[in-house]
Structure 1
Amino acid sequence: MRIASASPTPSRAAGTESHAGRILAVAGDSSASARSALAASWVRSLNRYGLDPMDQRPPLTLTDCELREARERVEPLLRAAQANLDLLFHAVGGTGCCVLFTDRNGVPVDRRGAEGDNETFHRWGLWPGAVWSEQHEGTNGIGTCLAEERPLTIHRDEHFHSRNIGLSCTVAPIFDHEGKLAAALDVSSCRSDLTGAFVGLIATAVADAARRIEAQNFKQAFPDARIILAPDTDRCTTALLAVDADDLIIGATRAARAAYGITSGRLAKPLPASTILDRLADRPEDFEQAERGLLQRSLARAQGNVSAAAKALHISRATLHRKMNRLGLHPNRRT
């Protein structure tokens, strides 16, 4: 693994110190982490990982051999991602953005970018082989998305390191055919004129592409199975089931596992598809009641903290809010 060194120019020194001071002030507030996911990430970066926000060294970089091995470890998923990486770059590349596909350690193993922007993105470390884990880079789009297992945007001065405050990174996690965190999909920009509305559009495009990659990878993992799009209460996820010739469920995406309580233990035993699909089709009110109870218990255990409850349920905070609104639930009281 290689590491380069750099130092801030005099013109950036004041801004660097100001940004670092803001992070130190937030970290010194004992209640900040409970109020803000961003503050919690800053505190992790400072206290758990021992990072310095004023550190001007660029990201660590894998050797060519290490990068090749990293690519080999995610090869099936990377193969499933190719078409969607092209489509995503076609949608955002003209606006000065690059697309990165990383492994679960935050290392980009594939990239899409305009040739004219390559020098700029390479200088920022948005390049295959750079290590963008939260442990090494502090709060950043790729690393924090992987640490929290949820889609997010880290915009400019939300980054931990002052040298990264020129970046805007929108990222979604990618889960493999067993529902395990496997990769991340990132769209990054160095432009200073990105509006909140445009970042929102990028976030939607990234999340959609990540779901399509998961679906394609799931189909690749079960080539001889019948793939069923299961009835799912959350239209923003893809709940897929793989069913064999005997009508036994042999695989389920993360969304299907969360929606129907399917565990690896249940899949290790014969699990008739009718056990889940017929029950839900015949008695949808029972499923809604069960879902309501599950959310209520999770919120109660989290003492009304929506972010903590969402993490325990392995869904995003936004998804949990949608479910709560649909079921008429509120975090501060039991209904």
Structure 2
Amino acid sequence: MKDSPPERKPLLPRSKGDVPSGYKARAALSNGMPAVEHSWQRCASAYHMDPAQGWTPDILSGAEFRHISGRSAVFLKSAMGEMHHLFELVQGMGLMVLLADPTATILARCVDETHLSVCRRLHLRKGAIWSEASAGTNGVGTCMQEKCPVFLGQGDHWRFCFSLLASYAVPVFDAQGHIAGALNMAAMSGDTTRPYANLLMETLKLSGRRIEEDLFRNRYAGEKILALGPAEGCSSLFVAVNEGGEVTGATHAARMLMGWTDDMIHERPNLLTELETSTEISFKRAEKCVVRSALAATQGNVSAAARGLGISRATLYRKLKALNIES
């Protein structure tokens, strides 16, 4: 994230079913994955989509929209405040903020009145479905397809009609590690925001993590929430642990780190036992973060921290010494 976005290379003309050989798609700013290139390949080979063809999205009826809004009620409740805060931060840069559900249907938007005509023209409205299979490469649909943050600059959208659309998007994960929806910042200003692309993407990822954290803490209220390491990407490394030290829940990032599935978490693994089964350095760092989190939660009370972790006081003291943590 510290490096500037790579210089843009000219796009070669593309026709139906053709991904230009000279096209070097930008990797997603989060982790270097070629999300845009993957999306272009799907548009050509899987969706057989003509980039020059006009596009009109499916728009849900009022009753259909109320149904999907109700289905995403918990997500909306956690996301709306953060969405409005994000809009206040970027409004002066000509960016609008959109929130979509897991089907890429727009649930809500924050937009300046001067951009309403653009929203009407591009169908950036509640109830519009922006799935990648329908709209082609786009922020909302592609970030959920790839499960990673995506930045699309001028000309990166598959369809020519979106050639001036700039888009920053991150998937937002729910308390069970599944995609709850997507958070998107968009502007019809070409590459004018490119100098600030890294800053904007970091801000967007932080907003996504805040929504995830709110969903996670509400779902596991009463449980101890521990961090397995510093937050990176668009998901935090959080686990919920009961009084016996058993894992009752984990965020998307924590599941990826530990290799946990829904079934494995249902079996209530013991967190420290899981960490001790591997000699990987990353797991040692995670164990250190867990122990520190437990001590912080008990204001340094070793006995209480040991009870929360499901181990004896003597065992915790041994771990403190081995991990070089002062009690």
User: TM-score interval w.r.t. the shorter chain?
Assistant: 0.7 to 0.9
Q: In the alignment, is the contact (CA less than 8 A) between 1:20 and 1:54 conserved in 2? A: no
Q: TM-score, normalised by structure 1?
A: 0.72
Inter-partner Cα distance in structure 2 for 1:31 and 1:55: 20
Are 1:120 and 2:118 an aligned pair? yes
1:101-250 equivalences in 2 (<5 Å): 101-192=99-190, 194-228=192-226, 230-232=227-229, 235-236=232-233, 237-250=235-248
Percent identical: 27
Q: Any idea what the Cα deviations from partners look like across 1:136-175, whole Å, max 9, x if unmatched?
A: 0111111111111110111221111111112111000111
Residue 90 of structure 2 is matched in structure 1 by: 92
Inter-partner Cα distance in structure 2 for 1:216 and 1:124: 32
Aligned-partner residue type, residue 68 of structure 1 = R
Inter-partner Cα distance in structure 2 for 1:52 and 1:192: 22
SS at match of 1:266: helix
Inter-partner Cα distance in structure 2 for 1:116 and 1:235: 35
Structure 2 unmatched runs, 5+: 1-9, 26-32, 285-327
**Displacement of 1:26:** 5.0
Q: In the alignment, is the contact (CA less than 8 A) between 1:172 and 1:207 conserved in 2? A: yes
Residue number among 276, 286, 292 corresponding to 2:279 in the alignment = 286
**Displacement of 1:29:** 4.5
Please state which structure has a larger fraction of its residues in helix: 1
Q: In the alignment, is the contact (CA less than 8 A) between 1:178 and 1:251 conserved in 2? A: yes
What is the CA RMSD across the aligned residues, in angstroms?
3.1
SS at match of 1:156: coil
1:33-44 equivalences in 2 (<5 Å): 37-44=35-42
Bigger shift: residues 162-171 or 107-116: 107-116
Inter-partner Cα distance in structure 1 for 2:55 and 2:257: 44
Inter-partner Cα distance in structure 2 for 1:178 and 1:151: 19
Inter-partner Cα distance in structure 1 for 2:222 and 2:231: 27
CA shift in 2, pair 1:288/1:265, >3 Å: same
Q: Any idea what the Cα deviations from partners look like across 1:180-203, whole Å, max 9, x if unmatched?
A: 122111000012351422222211
Q: TM-score, normalised by structure 2?
A: 0.73
Are 1:71 and 2:69 an aligned pair? yes
Q: In the alignment, is the contact (CA less than 8 A) between 1:23 and 1:42 conserved in 2? A: no
**Displacement of 1:231:** 2.8
Q: In the alignment, is the contact (CA less than 8 A) between 1:134 and 1:140 conserved in 2? A: yes
Inter-partner Cα distance in structure 2 for 1:19 and 1:193: 14
**Displacement of 1:104:** 1.2
Inter-partner Cα distance in structure 2 for 1:214 and 1:92: 21
Q: In the alignment, is the contact (CA less than 8 A) between 1:26 and 1:39 conserved in 2? A: no
Alignment: residue pair count: 269
Are 1:22 and 2:14 an aligned pair? yes
Inter-partner Cα distance in structure 2 for 1:22 and 1:290: 46
Q: Any idea what the Cα deviations from partners look like across 1:36-82, whole Å, max 9, x if unmatched?
A: 54343223113311222112233221112222122112111111112
